[in-house]
Structure 1
Amino acid sequence: MSTPVPDVRMSPTAAVGLVASREISTRVKSKAYRISTVVTLLLIVAGIFLLKLLSGGGADSKVGFTAATAAFSAPLTAAGKALDENIETTQVADEAAGRAQLADGSLDALLTGDGRSVHVQVKKDLDGKLANVLQMLSQQVAVTQQVAALGGDPVRFQAAVASAKFIEDPPLEEPYDYNGQQLVLGIIAGVLIYMSLLLNGQSVAQGVVEEKTSRVVELLLSTIKPWQLMAGKVLGIGVVGLFQMVVIGVVGVVTALATDVLTISVSAAVGTVVWLVVWYLLGFFLYSIVFAALGALVSRQEDIGGATMPAMMLVIAGYAIGISVLPSDPGNTFVEVLSVIPVFSPTLMPMRLAMGGVPVWEAVVSVGLVVLMIPGLIWFAARIYRNAVMRTGAKVKLRDALRAA
């Protein structure tokens, strides 16, 4: 009487979990992963402190004036504000003292002369923005002198000009006031998503090829199904990348808030990190499933780039469009439309969400479309993976992988 062979097959969930845990353990223990994470964190913290030092918060230019040119101080500061230039003025004892301060770098410019016209002296070169302010000051002085020559009151004239304002009718649509720091956060979010999708997506493809080359895949597929192996690999690498993304996002935001480099509300900063995590997950699963399938088509590491190029181009295109258009035109309609299309959403939508002004329905629709697209991609990629992963040697054509039984 023969002894029945026990059924040792694992459930799909257990099989996927086993592969995922193996990927997590292998990658977290790797020295390259740890070093890259630490280096990235150090670069972000160092960059934030460098921005803190460079921002300073002081004046853009410091201009000295003598007793004879003291009347130019107030209109010079006002002209600077009109041109978005923060100018600090200070009185010097005389022109000789002012030139000494120019020489040692204490002053950027010195107003000289008798006060009837604007004369300026610098150490070497006159800053372009300060030159524009001084030009406006010169024009104001000329107008004041002409008003006085015609018998008018320059003080009343200047007051009338200063109080004159145009009247703006209500806009047809309510505009969104984009915050400069939110724009920067949007760019940073786009860069992080872009780098994570490329690096972790490539890791999936490389892992598939490594297993094909070493024949490990044959051993694994004798126990579990191809789609379970693919899903476990994607899930494991995704978890490792998610941990890295959360750590980088939290450390970066906390450091920026603590050093006052980032002055937006805590809720806005947290919202940016949350959306970053959400879109990392959506983008990673969207693209890594495809990277795994495309990686199964080749058997050599040097062929991975060519096989995954179609998917990589979509990631690069979305990032390039966002990084080149959104900083100067956050409300661009073309980018707004692209950000709802699933293949471009992972790179464009997190940038727009960090910048602000995205209608709730657009965010919901973009997330929904990606979520709906992922099951179809899983079926499509699993078919390619199943039919190509066991075939070594020459590159498997995509149509052959789709047609194979």
Structure 2
Amino acid sequence: MSDPQYDGPGALSAIGGVRLIARRELATRLRAKSFLVSTVIIVVFICGYLVLMNFIGNSTSSATVGLTGQTSTLATPLGNAAKATGQKVDVRTVDERAGRRQVADGKLDALLVGTADAPTVVVKKNLPSGLGNTFTVLAQHEALTQQIVALKGDPSAVRHAMATAKLPVQRLEPVGGYQVERIVLGIIAVILIYMSLMINGQAVAQGVIEEKSSRVVELLLATVRPWQLMAGKVLGIAVVGLIQMVIFAVVGAGLGLATGVLSIPASLLTGAAVWAIVWYVIGFAMYAVMLAAAGALVSRQEDANAVVTPVIMMIVVPAVIGWSLIPANPDGMAGRVLSLIPLFSPMIMPMRISLGVAAPWEIVLSVVLSLVLVVGLVALAGRVYRNAVLRTGARVRLVDALRAA
């Protein structure tokens, strides 16, 4: 039975040809060891980074303090003082003799002996500075409590009044929403887009050169047209990169929320992840067609750098600007203008979206301008690819590829 997509030799339908090549690229690259290794490495990097951030966030200095029976009533005030000074304190009630032995053995950092009204701190040698600050605050609170009692006041009422007392703040300008978490989120988004574009984008150029040098392209072009071959290759590798980006976004967002490293609302985190994926797709379409055309200009991998490097620099420069300029001045004029320029948008706009400083009209305009450029680049790259992919030997000049019939 004949395939309905074929009308004869080389007459594969437009959509069928693109789908055939895309399916071939997808199946080949998903089974490739490089795909699995790179995906695992980046996932491990994301997990390690989030675990490290969680560890740093929870790594406040801690100390173990022993209380005797007579000083046990200081447990609550000691906890409040520790909270006020950012010191984590583990409180244990022990016998004084046993407590002194534990201090000498290093099992306790300090022991409070004496009475609750006049405690004494027992340490092995020196009192840690963080714990010393906590005890200072504790002593001040207890001294204040004694004075309040002497004046026949209510210490709990005074403490409540002190805890809730604050001065009203009048802001002359609205508070910017560029908290550290959103900056980190934006930087991670740009880094992932950058890495995926670099890995999968260069895979497009390498694939074109491999097929050209091995003469496989001649066999493929007996069945599909040049533009179908280029479009199918770009589409197939784009799907591979998209799968990776979805994995990275799900792992990063899920683990960040689960560990508490990211405390921003889940809706904002999800929105940032979705926009990162959208801009990856736009950016990949933009750069991949240029890399495919560049790969068609040469017949050997040794010559690839000369034609690929200019396109790679179009990825590197916006990425560097994205993670250096934007965090320093998220809503500055330079960032706003650059985020609207199509070749810069895939790297800069995701960060501005993550920071919450990109206006809706800016996002829409940058998407429209980028898609217009993609359409133009597809037409231009398609011409270069068609005219150069079957020419072997010396490197084909770009001008010649554009002028060839």
- The bucket for the TM-score relative to the shorter chain is 0.7 to 0.9
Residue 24 of structure 2 aligns to which amino acid in structure 1?
A: R
Match of 2:270 in 1: 270
Cα deviation for residue 309 of structure 1 reads 1.2
The residue correspondences of 1:29-48 to structure 2 (distance < 5 A) are 29-41=31-43, 43-44=44-45, 46-47=47-48
Give me the whole-angstrom Cα distance separating, in 2, the residues matched to 1:16 and 1:55. 49
TM-score by length of 1: 0.74
Q: Deviations over 1:292-343 (max 9, x none)?
A: 1111111111222231111211211111122223444433432232122111
Residue 194 of structure 2 aligns to which amino acid in structure 1?
A: Y
Cα deviation for residue 384 of structure 1 reads 1.4
The residue correspondences of 1:349-364 to structure 2 (distance < 5 A) are 349-364=349-364
Match of 2:4 in 1: none
Give me the whole-angstrom Cα distance separating, in 1, the residues matched to 2:326 and 2:362. 17
Residue 30 of structure 1 aligns to which amino acid in structure 2?
A: A
Residue 196 of structure 1 aligns to which amino acid in structure 2?
A: S
The residue correspondences of 1:265-304 to structure 2 (distance < 5 A) are 265-304=265-304
Match of 1:13 in 2: 15
Q: Deviations over 1:11-66 (max 9, x none)?
A: 2211111111111111112222223323433x146416733761463644659899
The residue correspondences of 1:47-126 to structure 2 (distance < 5 A) are 47=48, 50-51=51-52, 54-55=55-56, 57=58, 59-60=60-61, 62=63
Distance 1:359 1:108, change over 3 A: farther
Q: Deviations over 1:177-199 (max 9, x none)?
A: 5352x222212111110000000
Cα deviation for residue 223 of structure 1 reads 2.9
Match of 1:204 in 2: 204
Cα deviation for residue 203 of structure 1 reads 0.2
TM-score by length of 2: 0.74
The residue correspondences of 1:177-188 to structure 2 (distance < 5 A) are 178=179, 180=181, 182-188=182-188
Task: Give the conservation status (yes or no) of the 8 Å contact 1:257–1:263.
Answer: yes
Cα deviation for residue 386 of structure 1 reads 1.5
Cα deviation for residue 248 of structure 1 reads 2.1
Q: Deviations over 1:325-377 (max 9, x none)?
A: 34444334322321221111111211222232322122111111111111101
Unaligned runs of 5+ in 2: 1-6, 68-75, 113-122, 141-161
Question: Which piece of structure 1 moves more, 244-253 or 234-243?
Answer: 244-253
Q: Deviations over 1:185-237 (max 9, x none)?
A: 21211111000000000000000000110011122223322222111110110
Give me the whole-angstrom Cα distance separating, in 2, the residues matched to 1:311 and 1:100. 70
> Per the alignment, in what secondary structure is the counterpart of residue 366 of structure 2?
helix
Residue identity (%): 47
Task: Give the conservation status (yes or no) of the 8 Å contact 1:52–1:259.
Answer: no
1:235 pairs with 2:225: no
Cα deviation for residue 280 of structure 1 reads 1.0
> Per the alignment, in what secondary structure is the counterpart of residue 393 of structure 1?
coil
Distance 1:259 1:164, change over 3 A: closer
Give me the whole-angstrom Cα distance separating, in 2, the residues matched to 1:263 and 1:47. 18
Task: Give the conservation status (yes or no) of the 8 Å contact 1:45–1:255.
Answer: no
Give me the whole-angstrom Cα distance separating, in 1, the residues matched to 2:21 and 2:89. 64
Give me the whole-angstrom Cα distance separating, in 2, the residues matched to 1:8 and 1:309. 34
Task: Give the conservation status (yes or no) of the 8 Å contact 1:44–1:252.
Answer: no
Q: Deviations over 1:152-199 (max 9, x none)?
A: xxxxxxxxx99998775443556335352x222212111110000000
Match of 2:176 in 1: 175
Distance 1:333 1:205, change over 3 A: same
Distance 1:403 1:52, change over 3 A: closer
Residue 339 of structure 2 aligns to which amino acid in structure 1?
A: S
Task: Give the conservation status (yes or no) of the 8 Å contact 2:178–2:330.
Answer: no
Distance 1:321 1:64, change over 3 A: farther
Task: Give the conservation status (yes or no) of the 8 Å contact 2:54–2:261.
Answer: no
> Per the alignment, in what secondary structure is the counterpart of residue 196 of structure 1?
helix
Match of 2:313 in 1: 313
